[in-house]
Amino acid sequence: MFIPTITQKLLALKKEKGLTFADLEKILSRDEVWIASVIYRQASASQEEAELLVETLGLDRDDAQGLTEYPVKGCGPVVPTDPLIYRFYEIMQVYGMPLKAVDTSENLQTTPCLALGRVSMKPVPDVRIRV
């Protein structure tokens, strides 16, 4: 999978500074998943948001321009043709990597997939149908 150079730089600096997506959410006043989407180039930021993000992570303001451009929206050439499946495909292409990054970087001590609606993993009762 191709990961843009700006994404690699931003993620390395985020790790180096010990920041989480939740920390960036507080600084930018934007949702942490949206911030991850911008970093992964699946969404675009305003010039002001992009400048604040790159300055927070230690890049020059000039690096902000790439985050304001039209987003990549996906990471591969194979696209499903069924309309319903395509919508799920698009959701995963746009938010898959950002959700994974938020979930795994900040919830390592808890149940995976908490970023998806802060899902509670309760045991499912054993239900059997009698005939």
**Structural domain spans, the chain:** 5-106
* pLDDT for the residue 98: 87
pTM over cut 0.75: no
pLDDT in tens, 29-50: 999 999 999 998 989 999 999 9
Alpha helices in the chain (DSSP H): 5-16, 21-28, 32-39, 47-57, 65-68, 83-106
In this structure, are residues 102 and 33 in contact, taking their beta carbons and an 8 Å threshold? yes
Answer whether residue 53 shows pLDDT above 70.
Answer: yes
The dihedral built from the CA positions of residue 74, 76, 79 and 84, taken in this order, carries a sign that is: negative
What CATH number matches the domain at 5-106, 3.90.1530.10, 3.30.450.40, 3.40.50.2300, 1.10.260.40? 1.10.260.40
